[in-house]
Structures are given as C-alpha cells and as structure tokens.
C-alpha cells in the first residue's frame, strides 16, 4: 500500500463462499479521490452475566451480552469475509492446530473445524464462553473445538504450539479496546515458526468531510439548550470521536494512509505511532471533521482477501470514526490540509485511545493552525 488513495483490491467473498449471500463490501470502490459496541449493562433474562459481577472487568462483561454478538454476526461484510477466507483456503487449515483469540460465540472456531482443522482452541474471557461451549456441543464439534474460558495472557493451552492464530480483534478506529496486544501475546507465545496469523495486515486511513448539519446538531447544540448555555458539554462532545456512518458524498479530499500494521511481525508498541498526513481538497468546500477508517487483509490466502470499513464501501458495524474540528476550514480545490496524528494507549486504561491531531491550512480563503486532543472511551 502507498500513501495515496490506491487501495489493494480484494476478491469478492460472494464469489467464493457457497450458500453465502453478499459478503465482501469491496466491489464498491474504496475511496479513490487524490462495538457501537456499547451495550446496556443492566441485568436481564437475555444476559449471561452472573449477578455478582462488578464493573471492574466491564470490557469483558460487555461481551457477555448477546446483543453485541448479534450485531457482529449480522455484519455480513465481517463474518462472511472470515468465512470465505477459511472455507476457500482449506489448505491452510487442513490437519492444523488453530487458536481463536477472543472467540465470542465460537463462530470462527466452527468455520475452522468445518474446514478440516485438526483441533481448535477457542479462548474467550467473557461469560459468553459458557454459551460457546454449548454451541460447539450442539453442532457436533466437541471433539474438534475446545473452548477455554479466561484471559489469553493468564491461561495455558493444552499444546505447546499452534499453527494458526485467527482473531477478529479490530475495534472502532481499528485500535479501540486494544485487543491487538492479546493477539500479539498469543503469537509470541504459541505460534510455530512460519505460522499463520489471520488477518495479517491492517491499515488505518484518514480523510476530510463537509458535515455542517450534523456538527450543528451534535456539537453546536450545546450553545443554547432551551435558552441555557451548556457550552461546557460542547467542549467534552468535541473531544470524544463520534462513531457513525459517513455519506461518501461528504468526502471532500483524498484519503491518506496513516499506518499499515503487519500483525505477523509487529511489536506491541507499534500500535502507538505518529503519522503525517496531507489531505488535498478535491473541490471548493468547507471542512468540519476528519474521518478515520481501516482496511484489513488476509495475504496468506490463495487470492488476496479482505474488507474495508471506509465510507465508499459497504457499511460495517465499525462504521467510521469522526473527529470534529474546532475550526470550520474553507478550502479551495487543490489546497492541502497538512499535519500529523499521534495515536497512543491511554495510560490509565490501555483499552482506551488518546489521539493528538495537529493540522495547518494556508489557503486563499482560510488560514488555520491548531492542535486538538481526542479521547476514545
């Protein structure tokens, strides 16, 4: 991948999965100009969270609720791409030992078992592990899939090494929730030399949009609430990135590659980085926000496969991440917003993300230079 709008093209999962409806979102063009997962934590009959749970492990508790798994499973771009990767690359899985990190309901483990894996170890820390065990048993794969309940960093596998690590670790803004580090830990501890990590590449992109109406509704709203000034909330609202679906017609610049990560080789610290960007206006317009999204790819397949979460691709449950600017930037075609983005784990809670954005515009109608800070919580 290069630092421009030329994205890799992936094989459409629809072409390779039997009995699967539309899956890959990549037959829609990606950006070619120059979970959310917050589930109601109140106990209910649709919970597998025990009554004595506290908020100390809220991250894992949130994955004990059925709703978040329903949302992910119904994301056909996500789930059917993984299904395509596994079913159409059985040579990778035949008679191999597989580790599924963050297995959830066990769907990826079941795909692997059906594809001919010798054994699959499905690791899930939340109470959904209990459901996964039942799902595996009901579907007749108990002799192939073993569900292990616990944190990957704290348990021991019944085997010394595995041939494949598969995981759907991506969060909003790619890195929110920091599950990637658990995958890297498992890779370093259990993956055989020359083993396979799926997916093995992930790339984060940035673009800019016109979004006057939504910014007015979500940010400027706090200036006058039934005649009262609540601007203090506006300050907080602009600091928190918004996860939402962006209309591709709002895109006003090129899409800039910020970071590509090779999951098979990277170090845990590589997920914190500073990357420069240059967003060139494709037309005269106003810029209200920057938008981040990611692509993932499976390069060890017979043919390149993967998916995008970008505005020009089919919608996924990850949507896009919108970072509103304090300034409204007036850009003329060909003018560039230049700057850098720094991404780092929050020191108090490493599953959260701190973002620092520096940007400058020296245009015919607008000059601006600012540093903004965002917190994904």
The catalytically annotated residue of 168, 216, 220, 333 is: 168
The kind and range of the H/E element at 159 are: none
Q: Mapping DSSP to helix (H, G, I), strand (E, B) and coil, where does residue 343 land?
A: strand
The catalytically annotated residue of 177, 210, 240, 335 is: 177
Give yes or no: 326 in active site. no
Cα 83 to Cα 107: distance, rounded to the nearest angstrom: 9
Give yes or no: 177 in active site. yes
Cα 122 to Cα 165: distance, rounded to the nearest angstrom: 10
Angstrom distances, CA of residue 73 to CA of 17, 55, 66, 69, 107: 16, 25, 11, 6, 8
One-character DSSP codes across 297-334: EETTSSS-EEEE-STTS---TT-EEEEEEEEEEEE-TT
Cα 361 to Cα 359: distance, rounded to the nearest angstrom: 7
Cα 194 to Cα 120: distance, rounded to the nearest angstrom: 18
| Helices 107-114/76-87 angle, 10° precision | 20
Angstrom distances, CA of residue 118 to CA of 90, 121, 152, 192: 12, 10, 21, 15
**Which residues are designated catalytic?**
168, 177
């Amino acid at each position: 991948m290069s630092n421009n709008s030329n994205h890799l093209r992936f094989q459409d999962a629809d072409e390779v999965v039997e009995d699967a409806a539309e899956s890959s979102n990549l037959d829609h063009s990606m950006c070619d100009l120059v979970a959310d997962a917050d589930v109601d934590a109140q106990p209910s009959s649709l919970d597998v969270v025990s009554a004595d749970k506290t908020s100390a492990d809220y991250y894992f508790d949130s994955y004990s609720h059925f709703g978040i798994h329903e949302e992910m499973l119904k994301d056909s771009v996500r789930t059917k791409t993984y299904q395509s990767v596994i079913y159409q690359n059985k040579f990778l899985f035949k008679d191999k030992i597989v580790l599924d990190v963050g297995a959830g309901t066990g769907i990826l483990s079941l795909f692997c078992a059906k594809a001919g894996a010798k054994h699959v170890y499905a690791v899930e820390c939340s109470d959904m592990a209990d459901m996964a065990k039942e799902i595996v048993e009901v579907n007749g794969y108990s002799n192939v899939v073993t569900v292990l309940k616990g944190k990957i960093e704290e348990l021991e596998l019944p085997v010394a090494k595995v041939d494949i690590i598969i995981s759907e670790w991506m969060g909003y803004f790619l890195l929110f929730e920091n599950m990637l580090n658990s995958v890297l830990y498992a890779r370093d501890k259990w993956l055989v030399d020359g083993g396979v990590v799926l997916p093995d590449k992930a790339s984060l992109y940035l673009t800019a949009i016109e979004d006057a109406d939504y910014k007015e509704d979500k940010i400027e709203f706090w200036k006058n609430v039934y005649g009262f000034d609540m601007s203090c909330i506006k300050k907080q609202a602009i600091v928190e990135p918004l996860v939402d679906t962006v209309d591709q017609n709002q895109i006003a610049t090129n899409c800039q590659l910020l970071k590509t990560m090779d999951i098979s080789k990277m170090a845990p610290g590589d997920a914190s980085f500073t990357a420069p960007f240059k967003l060139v206006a494709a037309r005269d317009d106003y810029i209200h926000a920057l938008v981040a999204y990611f692509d993932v790819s499976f390069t060890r397949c017979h043919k390149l496969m993967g998916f995008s979460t970008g505005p020009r691709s089919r919608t996924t449950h990850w949507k896009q991440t919108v970072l509103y600017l304090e300034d409204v930037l007036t850009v003329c075609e060909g003018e560039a917003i230049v700057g850098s983005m720094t991404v780092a784990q929050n020191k108090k809670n490493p599953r959260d993300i701190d973002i620092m954005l520096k940007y400058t515009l020296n245009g015919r109608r607008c000059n601006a230079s600012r540093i903004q800070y965002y917190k994904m919580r």
